[in-house]
Amino acid sequence: MYENTDALAVVRALRPDEPITLLRPHAATRAARFFVEKFQGKSLYAVKANPSPALLELLWNAGITHFDVASLGEVRLVNKFLPDAKLCFMHPVKSERAIAQAYHNHGVRTFSLDSHDELEKIVRATNGATDLELCVRIRVSSEHAKLSLASKFGADPSEVADLLVATRQVADALGICFHVGSQAMTPAAFSEAMEHVRAAIVQASVTVDIVDVGGGFPSVYPGMEPPPLESYFDVIHDAFEDLPISYSAELWCEPGRALCAEYASLLVRVEKRRGSELYINDGAYGSLFDAAHVGWRFPVQLQRSDTSIGTQMAEFSFYGPTCDDMDHMAGPFVLPDDIQAGDYIEVGMLGAYGCAMRTEFNGFGETETVVVEDEPMATLYSRSAANDVGLTNRQARASKK
């Protein structure tokens, strides 16, 4: 692994032909410490956002001890690198084989579900185990989020009460979970969802041991500047305190994007300019999947020694390297108007759903990894939150109690 101080230093030293992923371990550590210290509950890292073993270990060392896994592959991955981590299988629809292997071979005791069929499957696969933490996922609105997660999973309100009662009968600990959608832009998303939790508890008249508010915690992108994360935490905690639950009930969350977006950026080279279109060497089948398929606008910055003083800024779209017209990122991405072939662009905030989505379609996809020391293009975390990054796991766990 090549180390340098910032993106421009990497350009000067390497003049790379292929895309380079720039890693900022200090940014991931800072984000993790922020959640550990400020969220009044347990934070489960959503592994799907970025399954890098190096990142998993960074988060563990910063105090994240619980991991939201969504497949048997993620179960095996985290168990391999972090054998002492608590794994929570939070995908509501799983194969019976995956449940059985997770339970019997990897010590997983926490599962989510959103139907009676899934509940019966879990009971069969675990041979009627009596040590299960089972979280019933309810359906809530995604209207406050940039990406909806409201249509695929979640028990319908008319089914929730019966499902909670049935789950309570076989669970050692009963939970309710939900997901407000990805990149929730207001804390109201969580306060409204918690009202659904309240209604479900009252209707079912069950004792609830876990309330898991899921993911949806945002990061910063052009045109998407959310309120401070503390405001989300305050709303969630106040709503949790008002629920009809026991004093010993636990509050959980499942941040993915918020923990790792600032961890990585991408350095790409301009191969051709055609008017306001730039042909670059990464794209829709690489780290820029979201930029192509959901129109996500990532921050960009030209990385070259001469700084284009006085040059006007202009809006550009990108074409990726493959022979597919769908390999197109509409943007707009704002860069100096004198940009040309051979220049390098840093695309920021790609630690979440960037490298995780990369393929080798059309023979592209190779990338080198470089550790840099500068700040990400945007942050929701003050630099002071990164203090004491050498905190031990035992100290980190103690700070959560």
Query: How far is C-alpha 290 from the geometric centre of its chain's CA atoms?
Result: 13
| CA-wise closest residue to 203 among 161, 246, 159, 156 | 161
The reply to whether 177 belongs to the active site is no
Query: Which tokens go with 144?
Result: 């406050």
* End-to-end CA, the chain: 37
The SS3 call for residue 35 is: helix
Query: Which tokens go with 393?
Result: 């796991």
Of the residues 88, 177, 260, 323, which is catalytic? 323
Q: How far is CA 324 from each of CA 273, 292, 320, rounded to the nearest angstrom?
A: 17, 12, 9
CA–CA dist 204, 160 (Å, integer): 8
Rg (CA), the chain: 22
Q: What secondary structure does DSSP assign to 82-103, as a single string? A: -TTSEEEE--SS--HHHHHHHH
DSSP state of 224: B
CA–CA dist 176, 173 (Å, integer): 10
Catalytic residues: 323
